[in-house]
Amino acid sequence: SSSLEQQTSCDDTGAAIVSSNRVVLSEAIHLQQHLHEPHGGIVPTLALESHAAQLPGVVRAALQQANLAATDLDAIAVTRGPGIHACLSVGMNAAKTLAAALNKPLIGVNHMVVEGHALMARMTTTKEGEAAFPFLCLLVSGGHTLLLVVHDVNHYTQLGTTLDDAVGEAYDKVARLLGIAWLPGRGGGAGAALEQLARTGDASRFSLPIPMRHASRAASMDFSFAGLKTAVARMVPALAEQEDDRWRADMAAAFEHTVIAHLTDKLRRAFRWTQQHSIPITSLVVSGGVASNEAIRAELGRLAGEHHVPLVCPPAKLCTDNGIMIAWAGMERLQRGFIDDYSIDIRTRWPLEALYQEWEKHIA
């Protein structure tokens, strides 16, 4: 069985077809980076115009690549939220119309955690048992930083979240403070550029505060990145006066080093929590755009090893937003009977609790 997806939550237009035995039959994507980079961030009206113009061609390309007719599909999955209202609408209206015309099930997918980014790891892993439920999941993206125990689709325990900025957001802001140009192409952007620069830097030159180490917050499994960004911002003006440009790479390295120390602190606590609650986690799953970072992967791989579970991350290019992850999440939902009405709405904000409530209703 195969399911087609459309992903238009924010800045790239994607469609993909996957089969229930984890084969990606096709993927088409239209990138918008070139539209947004001059503005230093996503411009909703430009994103909307581009989605509206590109989506039909992207869907057509996905079908052609897979050599399938629309009638061959078993279901149509679509990003329902969270995201930019106008952008989500383009995808939702297209998906509803397709599904209704073809008389196929429609599946609204949450772009995030227990669905999009996190389930992706279940599709891409090849080893038996890896990313099988339950698993410990760190979701690190442009808008989210979440630490969860995932028991099943939509069934999870949230251990921690960010109290302020998301990790990816911190990478983007610090890249801007350091005046780093975005890396072009798929998997590019500000975060990837910062990672590349950090590789050439000396992390020990600057000492940045590791967040949440104070006794009053150390026991929590929440994250905080705003203070770290502010610490960088305070140091930049004096450094920018220097002739020598090396400080940028050194600061990038110090920032990344501190981020990793913070993530590791909280993950150690999460591992301990699963032990205390006797939850037999199979893996540490790390996904979302920041999970494409090799330094982060290496360190978290070591940490997982210490706790005798594998680290499972999707391939780097599938960590950032893509159509395949929505198609796969649609497949996982389809297999569990989570099917939506053709009248469903989009959800620009979609709190995790709502997913959990849906799960409770479904099993009742």
Residues that bind Fe ion in the complex, under the rule CB under 5 A:
141, 321
Stretch that binds ligand ATP, among 13-21, 93-101, 164-172, 220-228 (CB under 6 A): 164-172
User: What number of other Cβ atoms are within 10 A of residue 200's Cβ?
Assistant: 12
Residue 290 contact, options Fe ion, ligand ATP, none, Cβ 5-8 Å cut-off depending on partner type: ligand ATP
User: What number of other Cβ atoms are within 10 A of residue 103's Cβ?
Assistant: 7
| DSSP 8-class letter at 113 | T
Q: Scanning the structure block, which residue is given the tokens 């084969």?
A: 23
Q: From the CB of 33, what's the least distance to ligand ATP, in Å?
A: 12
Residue 27 contact, options ligand ATP, Fe ion, none, Cβ 5-8 Å cut-off depending on partner type: none
Q: From the CB of 262, what's the least distance to ligand ATP, in Å?
A: 14
Q: From the CB of 332, what's the least distance to Fe ion, in Å?
A: 17
Rounded Cα distance, 193 and 183, in Å: 5
Q: Which of 105, 108, 289, 314 binds ligand ATP (CB under 6 A)?
A: 289
Q: Which residues pair with 28 in a beta bridge?
A: 15
Stretch that binds ligand ATP, among 189-197, 269-277, 305-313, 333-341 (CB under 6 A): 189-197
Q: Where are the alpha helices (DSSP H) in 67-166?
A: 85-102, 116-124
Element (H, E) at 287: strand 284-287
Give whichever of 321 and 332 is closer to Fe ion, judged by the CB atom: 321
Q: From the CB of 99, what's the least distance to ligand ATP, in Å?
A: 24
Q: From the CB of 325, what's the least distance to ligand ATP, in Å?
A: 9
Q: Which of 30, 143, 239, 297 binds ligand ATP (CB under 6 A)?
A: 143
Residue 17, SS3? strand
Residue 3, SS3? strand
> Is residue 115 a contact point for ligand ATP (CB under 6 A)?
no
Three state DSSP letters for 187-217: CCEHHHHHHHHHCCCCCCCCCCCCCCCCHHH
Contacts of ligand ATP in 292-331 (CB under 6 A): 292-293, 320-321
